[in-house]
Chain A
Amino acid sequence: EPEVTQTPSHQVTQMGQEVILRCVPISNHLYFYWYRQILGQKVEFLVSFYNNEISEKSEIFDDQFSVERPDGSNFTLKIRSTKLEDSAMYFCASPVGGGTSTDTQYFGPGTRLTVL
Chain B
Amino acid sequence: GENVEQHPSTLSVQEGDSAVIKCTYSDSASNYFPWYKQELGKGPQLIIDIRSNVGEKKDQRIAVTLNKTAKHFSLHITETQPEDSAVYFCAASWRKLTFGTGTQLKVEL
Q: Which residues of A contact B (CB under 8 A)?
A: 1, 33, 35, 41-45, 48, 55-56, 91, 93, 101-110
A-B interface, 4 closest residue pairs, ranked by CB to CB distance from nearest: A107-B43, A102-B32, A43-B99, A42-B99
Q: Is there contact, CB below 8 Å, between B49 and A104?
A: yes
Inter-chain contact count A-B, CB under 8 Å? 56
B30-56: CB near A (< 8 Å → 1, else 0) gives: 011010100000111110010100000
13 A-B pairs whose Cβ atoms sit less than 8 Å apart in the complex:
A33-B97, A35-B97, A43-B44, A43-B91, A45-B96, A56-B95, A91-B44, A101-B31, A102-B31, A102-B51, A102-B93, A108-B43, A110-B43
Q: Other than A43-B91, A102-B93, give 18 A-B pairs with Cβ distance below 8 A.
A: A35-B97, A42-B99, A42-B101, A43-B44, A44-B99, A45-B97, A55-B95, A56-B96, A93-B97, A101-B31, A101-B32, A101-B93, A104-B34, A104-B46, A104-B49, A107-B43, A107-B44, A109-B42
Point out the residues of chain B lying under 8 angstroms from A91, CB to CB. 43-44
Within 8 A of A (CB), among B75-109: 89, 91, 93-102
CA distance A55 to B95 in the complex (A): 10
Among candidates B36, B42, B95, B99, residue contacting A110 with C-beta atoms closer than 8 Å: B42
Among candidates B49, B94, B99, residue contacting A101 with C-beta atoms closer than 8 Å: B94
Q: Is there contact, CB below 8 Å, between A1 and B46?
A: yes
CA distance A93 to B96 in the complex (A): 11
